[in-house]
Every structure is written in structure tokens, then in C-alpha cells.
């Protein structure tokens, strides 16, 4: 305090026995002097005695409030300090509710009203009285407080009704579809159930009082429903009978004969379709690079047939090149013309083709026929080959005007029946022929 510095010289002038080291202390309660006492063991003994003059002077000195730093602007004589501190807004006082807090007067009102654990508060919602600490727990839990529904449905209601509302009444609550067990907001559940795959719906055929999950209805109607109208299983054979599924067995039992007849007709129809398809397949024209290899199977049977019927066997048609001449080979296994009964006859026929208009006529490509010796040792094979250059004057080599079935050009006496029986010309009941052209 500022007063102590001025007091010091006065002290030494009035009482010369005092040591220069003596200090003074001004307190709100009075002024005391301290002096060393040499009669004790300790280094310094203090003597304390009142000095009323000094005290008056000290008490009249101006001081600032000790809460200057906290913001108190009070400045006055020292003897007024205590009175000021009794009311200073920055001085600390214990909470009058004895809550154990010590606070400045400044914050006391706030403390008493809002934070003192021992304050008494009345809840505005339930009107109950609470000590402050219990009230803090009560805030946010008062069952009478009106709150918004947490599902944001827009409803406001006392907290005590909230649970029941959210569980049982709120139209925004989530709820499990009882059929498919997926979760939905309550207000969309009804819309969902118009589509829910597990929602039970009645069979459109009224087959049974029990309802069936929506997703199983198709299978039920198509495969299981006893009341569904079904077609006879011989429908594809031509039976047009339709009846409820439960009576179909009887129809099948009673119509075995007519069903069998329908099946026979179907088989015949399909057989002729197969033949047509085979023919169509046969007529698909091959493209060659000038070499056509022709394997004739079932030789023995076809040979016997040609003895009796003199059958001509014609190969599938082929093109000499991609855009070349269309032609076919033909054979008489037991010969024809001059070779009849003794030789294998081989011919080539020029057919009407797609590109005839851009080809050269007459046909002049040299042609060779070969029958292969099918010996597995290639060294020992003795293939038989004949070749010729077409004569431009022959009708066979002119541009074909229409697809007439005429005999081809070739060798009526190509290989004799005797020679054909030798070596491996016939192997695995097959012979293999080659028609080859010299392509320029």
C-alpha cells in the first residue's frame, strides 16, 4: 500500500531505539509496529503496539479497491475500505444457499437464479419444486413438457405421451410389413402392400379360399391351380380340348386312341419336313477351288440298286470357283451306255449358274476324273485318273439356257467293275471320286 513508504521515516525519528529494518503494515483494522526482540532464540522477535497518530494518518490515506484489476473503480480513504468491501460487487461471498460455491456479488444473482445447486426452482411445465441440481436433471426430461415428435410428423405433445405416439400412432413411424418383413414409414405401407410380393391375394380362378403370396401367383396359375383352364398335352398334335386342370387326367384316359392317331399324323408330317430340309441342305451349292471331292457311301446297296434300276447318282451342285461355273458330277455305279453292266461311268454336267452372263462360253477348262485307291499306305495307292479338254463344239459345254436334266459329258467306261473290286477302291462301303479343273 502506498501509505507504508511514507510512514517509515517518521517512525525512526520518533523512536530512536527502533531498528531501521522495521516495517509497518496498514490493515483495515489498525496500524501496528513490528520490532526485533533480542531476548528470544530466534534471530528476530517482533514487538507489536498501537500508534494512534499513525493509524489515523494511514486510515486517511487514499486507496483503491483491491478488486481494481477485476474492474472496481472505487477510490477512497482507507477507513472506508471495509464498508466498501461489504458492498463491492467484485468482492466474493459464500453462496447464501450454502451450496459451497464462493462468488463475487456481481455474479451472485445469476448464480442464485440459474446455477446454484441448492436453489429452488419451479418447473414451468409440471409446476413441481426442485433443488437446482435435481432441476438440471429434470430439464429435458419433464414429462409435462410439450415437445415435437422426433419423427418430424409435425405433432406436438407432452413428453409422457411421446413414446406411445411414436410407437403406435405417428404416421411417420417405421413399421415392418407383416408379409415381407421389410421396414417402411407407416404412411407408405399401404401403397407398398399394393406391390408387396408376399402380400396374399386370392387366386383369379377362385380355386381355394386360401390366398397366395402375389409373387407365387403366376406359377400357381400356370402349373398348380386345379381350377385353371389348361390345354390338352396333345395340343401340338392337334387336340383342341381344354378343361380345368383337375379333369385333364380323365380326358387323357378317355382319348388314348384319338391322341395316338394325332401323334401318327404328326410324325408323318415331320418326316416329310425332315426330307424337305435334307433336300434343301443338299441343294446348297458348294464353292470349290476347282477341285470337288465326292464320297459315295452305302456303295453295296447303291450298286445293287443300279443293277436293277440303272440309277444315276448326281452329286450336290458346286461352283468351279467363287464366281465360276456351276456344275455337278454324276455316276452310274453299274455303268450306262457303252459301259452298262460292266463299268463305272462318270460324267460332268454344266448347270445354269448365277454368274453365267459374265463367264466365257463355251466352257473350255480341262477336266480330270479320279477314283481313289484308299490304301492306308500312301506309297501303295494306285489312283485311276482320266482327263479331257472340252470340245468347243459340243452342246454340253455351251452356256446352259435352262436347267434341263441332261446327261453329262464324261467316261461311260471309266473303270471296269472287275478293277473296282480290286485294291482299296471300295473301302468302308464307300468310294471317293475327284473332279478337278485346270483353272487359268
Interacting residues toward Zn ion by CB under 5 A: 65, 67, 72, 74, 88, 95, 97, 99, 101, 116, 123, 125-126, 142, 149, 151, 153, 155, 170, 177, 179-180, 196, 203, 205, 207, 225, 232, 234, 239, 241
The least CB distance from residue 30 to Zn ion, in Å, is 21
Which residue's CB is nearer to Zn ion, number 156 or number 395?
156
The least CB distance from residue 262 to Zn ion, in Å, is 8
The least CB distance from residue 132 to Zn ion, in Å, is 7
The least CB distance from residue 234 to Zn ion, in Å, is 4
The least CB distance from residue 138 to Zn ion, in Å, is 6
Which residue's CB is nearer to Zn ion, number 25 or number 155?
155
The least CB distance from residue 75 to Zn ion, in Å, is 10
Which residue's CB is nearer to Zn ion, number 2 or number 261?
261
Which residue's CB is nearer to Zn ion, number 155 or number 185?
155
The least CB distance from residue 367 to Zn ion, in Å, is 60
Burial of 175 by CB count in 10 Å (0-12 exposed, 13-18 middle, 19+ buried)? middle
Which residue's CB is nearer to Zn ion, number 247 or number 297?
247
Which residue's CB is nearer to Zn ion, number 155 or number 175?
155
The least CB distance from residue 200 to Zn ion, in Å, is 11
Burial of 272 by CB count in 10 Å (0-12 exposed, 13-18 middle, 19+ buried)? exposed
Contact 4, 25 (CB under 8 A): yes
Which residue's CB is nearer to Zn ion, number 154 or number 341?
154
Any bridge partners for residue 185, and if so which? 174
Which residue's CB is nearer to Zn ion, number 198 or number 427?
198
Amino acid at each position: 500500500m502506498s501509505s507504508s513508504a511514507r510512514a517509515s521515516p517518521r517512525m525512526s525519528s520518533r523512536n530512536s531505539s527502533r531498528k531501521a529494518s522495521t516495517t509497518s503494515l496498514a490493515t483495515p483494522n489498525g496500524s501496528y509496529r513490528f520490532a526485533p526482540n533480542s531476548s528470544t532464540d530466534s534471530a528476530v522477535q517482533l514487538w507489536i503496539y498501537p500508534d494512534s497518530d499513525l493509524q489515523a494518518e494511514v486510515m486517511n490515506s487514499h486507496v483503491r479497491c483491491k478488486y481494481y484489476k477485476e474492474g472496481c473503480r472505487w477510490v477512497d480513504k482507507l477507513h472506508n475500505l471495509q464498508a466498501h468491501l461489504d458492498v463491492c460487487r467484485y468482492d466474493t461471498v459464500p453462496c447464501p444457499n450454502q451450496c459451497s460455491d464462493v462468488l463475487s456479488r456481481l455474479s451472485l444473482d445469476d448464480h442464485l437464479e440459474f446455477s446454484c445447486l441448492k436453489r429452488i426452482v419451479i418447473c414451468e411445465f409440471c409446476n413441481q419444486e426442485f433443488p437446482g441440481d435435481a432441476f438440471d436433471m429434470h430439464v429435458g426430461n419433464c414429462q409435462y413438457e410439450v415437445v415435437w415428435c422426433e419423427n418430424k410428423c409435425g405433432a406436438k405433445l407432452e413428453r409422457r405421451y411421446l413414446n406411445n405416439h411414436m410407437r403406435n400412432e405417428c404416421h411417420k413411424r417405421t413399421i415392418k410389413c407383416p408379409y415381407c418383413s421389410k421396414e417402411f414409414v407407416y404412411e407408405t405401407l399401404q401403397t407398398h402392400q399394393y406391390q408387396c410380393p408376399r402380400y396374399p391375394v386370392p387366386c383369379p380362378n377362385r380355386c381355394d379360399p386360401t390366398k397366395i403370396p402375389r409373387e407365387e401367383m403366376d406359377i400357381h396359375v400356370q402349373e398348380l391351380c386345379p381350377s385353371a383352364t389348361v390345354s390338352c398335352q396333345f395340343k401340338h398334335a392337334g387336340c383342341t380340348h381344354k378343361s380345368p386342370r383337375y379333369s385333364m387326367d380323365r380326358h387323357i384316359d378317355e382319348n388314348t386312341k384319338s391322341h395316338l392317331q394325332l401323334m401318327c399324323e404328326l410324325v408323318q408330317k415331320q418326316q416329310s419336313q425332315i426330307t424337305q430340309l435334307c433336300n434343301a441342305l443338299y441343294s446348297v451349292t458348294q464353292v470349290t477351288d476347282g477341285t470337288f471331292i465326292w464320297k459315295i457311301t452305302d456303295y453295296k446297296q447303291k450298286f445293287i440298286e443300279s443293277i436293277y434300276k440303272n440309277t444315276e447318282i448326281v452329286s450336290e451342285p458346286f461352283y468351279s470357283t467363287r464366281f465360276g461355273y456351276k456344275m455337278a458330277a454324276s455316276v452310274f455305279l453299274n455303268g450306262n451306255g457303252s459301259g452298262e453292266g460292266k463299268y463305272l461311268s462318270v460324267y460332268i454336267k454344266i448347270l445354269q449358274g448365277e454368274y453365267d452372263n459374265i463367264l466365257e462360253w463355251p466352257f473350255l477348262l480341262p477336266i480330270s476324273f479320279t477314283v481313289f485307291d484308299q490304301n492306308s499306305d500312301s506309297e501303295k495307292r494306285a489312283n485311276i485318273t482320266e482327263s479331257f479338254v472340252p470340245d468347243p463344239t459340243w452342246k454340253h459345254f455351251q452356256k446352259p439356257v435352262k436347267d434341263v436334266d441332261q446327261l453329262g459329258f464324261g467316261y461311260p467306261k471309266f473303270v471296269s467293275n472287275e478293277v473296282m473290286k480290286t485294291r482299296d477302291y471300295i473301302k468302308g462301303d464307300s468310294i471317293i471320286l475327284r473332279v478337278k479343273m485346270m483353272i487359268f
